[in-house]
Each structure stands twice: as structure tokens, then as C-alpha cells.
Structure 1
Amino acid sequence: MSSLLLAIVGAGKADSLMQLAKESGSSGGTILRGRGTASSSLLCLLGLGDADKEVLLTLVDDGVEQTVWDALSRFPHTRGLLASVPASRNEDHPVVKEHAFDLVYMICASGFADDIMAAARKAGAGGGTIIEGRGTATSEDIAFFSASLVPEKEMLIILLPHTERDAVLEAVSKLPFLQEEGSGIAFSVPVQKVATLR
């Protein structure tokens, strides 16, 4: 089995974390750019507020997961969030059966993630991270000078206590702009452990 380690840190910090992860046994990873959405000064102080962010994703085998986790969670030069999720969907896995936190992912058209975050916040979420992206080309995409114009997307990631997940997903699903088919998708994964980086 393996785990996906996800670290959300300030811009310019993920490369150092990735180097540390490699030195501790990770074979590599991916760094994505995003921005934070937290509204409280406490979350800003923790490095999770409205600011440019980087999201580090690294897949590690269970044999080195604890070593990589320990190295990343003790990294002294950054603030942020570190989470570990099981990389396989095994219903018998103890994390899937009983867990305290979920990572909720919401993918929507560009420009709507802040509205989704506002609805999620009203339902109990504290803050999240928005990552920009784009859709994949389909036959319905607009042809423009022999190239396809694909829709811009945003992905909102929110760490929630498991007990609040359903209320947040329910509140978001009622937003008028998400009533159209294909306007967005939301899913969650159980978190096996979480730590703040300071």
C-alpha cells in the first residue's frame, strides 16, 4: 500500500519540502500553484490565509511514509498544512472505516471557487486552497484558429472534520450555478493524519 502526502505551504517553499521528501525516501512529486481562502487572522498567522500557495503532492510507499512524514512535519522554515491520505480505496483499511478528517475536493468553472468557499464557510468550513486548471478537450469545445478552447477550471481543497463533511457538501450542492449538469463535481477522501507546519 502507499499514501499520498499533501502539503499546502506558502509560495516558494514546496521545492525545499520536495527535496527533503526525496532525501527521506520519496521518489518524487508534483507541485501545484494556488491561493488560500482563509478569512481569519489566526489562519493567516498559521500560513493558511489569503495568499499565494503551493501544494506539494508526493506518493510514498508505506515502508517510508512515516520517515517522510516526520521529516516534512519538522521542517522549520515554513508554515502550512500537511495531510496523509491512503492512496488505494480499500474499504477494509482502518482509515477508511474510522477517520477524524476528510479532504474535500470541488472542481468548478473558473471564477466560482470563492462563492463555493463562502457557502462552505457558512456550513462550518474554515478555509481552503484554490488551484487553477483547465478542462480537457472534448468534441463540444469551441474550435478557434485550428485549436480547441477548453474551459478554465478551479479546484478548491478543504480540510474538514469528518463530522462536518456532509453539511458542507450539502450546502455547496444547493448553489444555483451548480445546478446545471457538468457545472462541477465534489468528492472527499479520508485523511489518515494531519499536522500544521510551523
Structure 2
Amino acid sequence: MNTLYWLVTITDRPTTDAFLKLYKSFGVDVSLRTVGAGTAVQETLSTLGLEKTEKAVLFAIITADSWPRIQKALRRQMRIDVPGTGIAFIVPVSSIGGKRALLFLTEHQTLELKEESTLKDTRYDLLLVIANQGYTGSIMDAARAAGAGGGTVIHAKGTGMEGAARFMGIDLVNEKELVLIVSRTSEKNAIMKAIMDNADKKAGSIVFSLPVTDTAGLRLLDEE
């Protein structure tokens, strides 16, 4: 597929709406927003011009065509290079489960469908599942049946979901859960398909994967 990225933005909560408005102007619908808190020591905070404030964390899928223009706007309009404004970074997406989910996540962006992108010599992938709240059990049951181990769940709110019914055939509620599953790259497609086919349809699951370039703490999985 066309080169896709998982855009992560961390900023102070009062400026969240300004970032959302900026992304919207480029046709990027932020799929999830959640909260966080800074953990830097006071000396670092002072050096960077930051304060111990609550943070907002925004997640979105963007295309390679969108990123250069967004990056320029973040610098010029949001002045993101000024200490204390926030940070934004992108991670390559290796695959998305299903054409409808792909079109939904990139609806207003330039997208040219190509073969699935890969990074050489990656042994693991991080699977991310965006789902309606309350269906984690169904998702993990389907994933484990296809060989997955455990998962981690993050609570978040969905944004930019107005067109979800048209693409996914289901109304996606605002309360979301983000499920993170690390799997072997060789098992990734089977696990993603199991979630898409067998998890409760009311979950409205959207699943995609990010390449994991290195790991620590997966020795037991390596030895199996």
C-alpha cells in the first residue's frame, strides 16, 4: 500500500483544539485522543520551558503525501519548535486490516494503493486495534485463537468518526479502547484476520500494524 504513518501528537490540553483544527484543514481526522501527564524532572522541564501540566495525546493515520505539508504547518502555524508547545512524530504503518478501514482512515487524503509496505528483518509487529468500549474480551479471544499472547488496553475518546457508518457499516461510539498486541511478523496477518472476522461486530474494530525494529523482554516468545 502507499506509505502510511501513525501520527502521534503530545501537547498541553488547552491547545488540543488548535491542533485538531490544523489537522482537519489537511483532511486528517484524528481517530483517537487520550490524556497523559509529563514525567520529566524539574530541571529538564525548566530547560525545555515546560511545566508539569496534563497532556493530550492525539493519534491519526496520515499518508506520505500529507506529512511534509503538515510538518511545515506545525512549525509555522503551531510553532511546535518553540519549547513547551508540544511534539509530533510519525511511525511507519506496515498494514491495515481491510480496504474499508484503510479508506475510512485516509478518506480526505491523497492515497495511491500499492503493495503492503515492509521493513526488512523485522521479527515482530505491534498490532493496534481501535474498538468500541467494552469489547476487549471478544477481541483478545479472537486474537489468542490465532496465536496472539496478551494485550494492553488504553482508554480513549474517538474523534472524526462521523463517516464511520458509511465505511464500516456500524455507528462507532465515542468511548474507545486502544488494544496493543505484540506478535511475530509471521503471525501478524492471521491475527489481524481473526480479529476482523471473529471479534464481536459491535466492537467496530479497526486494526492495523506497526513494524517493531527491536525488542527487549520477549525472550520467552523468542524461545518458543
Q: TM-score, normalized by length of structure 2?
A: 0.41
Greater helix proportion: 2
Greater strand proportion: 1
Q: TM-score, normalized by length of structure 1?
A: 0.46
